[in-house]
């Protein structure tokens, strides 16, 4: 069983809708949680990261971490066609600075 599970999608939403993405994980030692966006034929780019539990907001993006449920979420408000991409979650423990565990990625399609 993978340490990080993520629904591959595709997730199709109309422009302007809220996109809701999530990942579940099994390792309770994970403390750093990241979300990356990857456009086709490009490398991933870091969108947001959070430490431990709680919410973090950056513009149209909100990341949430629920450590009790081992569940993280990313919400994209007022979605645009340019948000169409694959979104990857990643996480690591406190003492394994170099070792990130990624989810498989969710493909998002925002239709005009």
In three-state secondary structure terms, 86 is strand
Q: Residue 71: name the closest of 56, 91, 100 by CA.
A: 91
In the complex, the smallest distance separating the C-beta of residue 10 from other proteins, rounded to whole angstroms, is: 13
**Site for other proteins contains 46 (CB under 8 A):** yes
In the complex, the smallest distance separating the C-beta of residue 64 from other proteins, rounded to whole angstroms, is: 18
Q: Compare residues 98 and 112 and give the one whose CB is closer to other proteins.
A: 98
Q: Which of 13, 75, 102, 107 binds other proteins (CB under 8 A)?
A: 102
In the complex, the smallest distance separating the C-beta of residue 72 from other proteins, rounded to whole angstroms, is: 15
Q: Which of 31, 35, 44, 74 binds other proteins (CB under 8 A)?
A: 44
5, burial (CB in 10 Å: exposed 0-12, middle 13-18, buried 19+): middle
Phi, psi (deg, nearest 5) at residue 8: -75, -15
């Amino acid at each position: 069983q993978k340490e990080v599970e993520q629904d591959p999608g595709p997730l199709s939403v109309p422009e302007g809708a809220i996109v809701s993405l999530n990942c579940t994980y099994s390792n309770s030692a994970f403390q750093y949680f990241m979300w990356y966006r990857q456009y086709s034929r490009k490398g991933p780019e870091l969108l947001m990261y959070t430490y431990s539990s709680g919410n973090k907001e950056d513009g149209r993006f909100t990341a949430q971490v629920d450590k009790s449920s081992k569940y993280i979420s990313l919400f994209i408000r007022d979605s645009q066609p340019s948000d169409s991409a694959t979104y990857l979650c990643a996480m690591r423990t406190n003492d394994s600075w170099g070792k990130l565990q990624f989810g498989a990625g969710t493909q998002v399609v925002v239709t005009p």
